[in-house]
């Protein structure tokens, strides 16, 4: 039955403004959206200066948004503003460019290719664990970022960028820190104020990343060998008139996949270590599986399907602390969402960090319970209730890459090292483009067993 009301209930505009756009501060947004879902139900709507916003916390409707055609809805303002950094890469582009580029890049993420990447993932994790001294204090978030960056560069670009990892990390952090300001009410004006701190920081970050990416591209152009990786695919493609991909678009895709290919996985692993440090029983069960499946050796790629509880640990960490924590779409032509008519110009919001804790679908929604993924609890979970990688034709192209990396890295390191939290107070959230920890996740590394050669 079609609703008689034109709009569902929602928070007052001023309340929404205080929580969504005050100085571009995103820190309040997860709690605000959770309160909207709690107070107004699975669909809520409110007015904002830029148009009407809708928040959706109903799996069937979330699935409808995720599978909507690119000619009905387009990327939300946040990701469109990220074009200043990423250009027209897969994460930010709209149709028809997105579909064309996705088909082009897809071979780099085929199952057989990802299986080939697995050995590199294991090697990087083994090196990271071997470099830790027993009793050493380490910022686990920084360690995971550096390791994931090494994996992304080696697998997708056949490049060793260890010497530039710190520069890339600093540039990414600089660009991310300016993201809230870039989507504030008058953000576009900042682009024309070069002396503003956020604008200056962003331009410095982009220049630093461009220098590294264009160097990698130029080195590959001079070495014409086809290495079968992403960069080879981008440089060898030709359009219908036999023209190569423009250098700017090669740069956009390369930078997008380098950053997306390490930032989200590093955050997922960081939150996983934090969850395990707070739950000794789950950590003990993880170690028991590793002892049974691996014994006193590191994993090999063929072990991936046998590490079921390890995968459950990652899945549960991403449920509670999803690296991609919000998804926005702007409606560009009349769109029916369930019983509601959505006008062009409206903004549709969904949030993984809210829906992943919806008590209608999750038993003990705030508890870290990896066993829920294998004990039958999630067997009847509706589509749209768990979407850490999005969905539909814009589902993350690197989903299988990310699962493989997270599981094998966790198994490789946890077999050798146990991380003990030095501060068990709640870690504040830093919701930017991804969900980062709001403070360094400092832990003590303890050797779990005598290292053996593999």
Q: How many CB atoms lie within 10 A of CB 420?
A: 12
φ, ψ (nearest 5 deg) of residue 116: -70, -30
Sign of the C-alpha dihedral computed for residues 177, 404, 419 and 273 taken in this order: positive
* pTM: predicted TM-score of the whole model, two decimal places: 0.90
Q: Which of 98-102, 335-339, 356-360, 415-419 has the lowest mean pLDDT?
A: 98-102
Mean pLDDT, rounded, for 7-34: 82
Query: How far are the Cα atoms of 138, 163, 270 from residue 142, in angstroms, in the given order?
Result: 8, 15, 9
pLDDT tens figures, 41-54: 999 999 987 789 99
Q: Confirm if 98 and 90 have CB atoms less than 8 A apart.
A: yes
Query: How far are the Cα atoms of 206, 219, 249, 251, 289 from residue 87, in angstroms, in the given order?
Result: 11, 21, 8, 8, 43
pLDDT tens figures, 128-171: 999 999 999 999 999 999 999 999 989 888 888 777 777 787 77
* Whether residue 119 has pLDDT greater than 60: yes
Domains and CATH numbers, the chain: 13-447 (1.10.630.10)
Q: Confirm if 422 and 165 have CB atoms less than 8 A apart.
A: no
């Amino acid at each position: 039955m079609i609703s008689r009301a034109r709009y569902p209930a929602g928070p007052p505009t001023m309340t929404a403004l205080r929580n969504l756009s005050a100085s571009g501060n995103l820190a309040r947004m997860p709690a605000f959206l959770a309160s909207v879902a709690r107070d107004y139900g699975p669909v809520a709507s409110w007015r904002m200066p830029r148009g009407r916003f809708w928040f959706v916390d109903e799996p069937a409707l979330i699935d409808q948004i995720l599978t909507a055609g690119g000619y009905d809805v387009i990327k939300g303002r946040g990701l469109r503003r990220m074009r200043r950094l990423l250009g027209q890469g897969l994460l930010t582009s709209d149709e028809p460019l997105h579909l064309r580029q996705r088909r082009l890049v897809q071979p780099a993420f085929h199952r057989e290719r990802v299986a080939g990447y697995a050995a590199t993932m294991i090697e990087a994790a083994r090196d990271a664990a071997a470099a830790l001294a027993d009793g050493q204090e380490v910022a686990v978030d920084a360690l995971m970022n550096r390791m994931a960056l090494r994996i992304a560069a080696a697998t997708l670009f056949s490049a060793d960028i260890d010497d530039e990892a710190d520069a890339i990390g600093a540039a990414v952090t600089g660009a991310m820190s300016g993201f809230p300001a870039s989507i504030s009410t008058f953000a576009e004006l900042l682009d024309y104020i070069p002396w503003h701190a956020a604008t200056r920081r962003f331009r410095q970050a982009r220049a630093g990343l461009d220098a590294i990416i264009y160097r990698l591209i130029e080195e590959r152009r001079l070495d014409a060998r086809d290495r079968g990786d992403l960069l080879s695919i981008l440089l060898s493609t030709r359009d219908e008139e036999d023209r190569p991909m423009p250098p700017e678009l090669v740069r956009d895709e390369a930078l997008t996949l380098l950053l997306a290919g390490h930032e989200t996985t590093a955050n997922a692993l960081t939150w996983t270590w934090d969850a395990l440090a707070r739950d000794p029983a789950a950590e003990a069960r993880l170690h028991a599986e590793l002892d049974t499946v691996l014994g006193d050796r590191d994993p090999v790629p063929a072990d991936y399907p046998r590490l079921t509880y390890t995968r459950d640990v990652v899945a549960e960490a991403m449920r509670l602390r999803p690296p991609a924590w919000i998804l926005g779409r702007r409606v560009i032509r009349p769109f029916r969402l369930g019983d509601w008519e959505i006008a062009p110009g409206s903004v549709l919001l969904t949030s993984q960090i809210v829906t992943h804790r919806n008590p209608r679908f999750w038993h003990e929604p705030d508890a870290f319970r990896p066993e829920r993924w294998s004990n039958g609890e999630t067997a009847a979970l509706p589509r749209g209730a768990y979407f850490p990688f999005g969905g539909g034709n814009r589902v993350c192209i690197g989903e299988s890459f990310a699962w493989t990396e997270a599981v094998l890295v966790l198994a490789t390191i946890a077999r050798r090292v146990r991380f003990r939290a030095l501060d068990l107070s709640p870690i504040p959230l830093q919701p930017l483009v991804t969900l980062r920890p709001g403070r360094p996740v400092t832990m003590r590394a303890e050797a779990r067993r005598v290292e053996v050669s593999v």
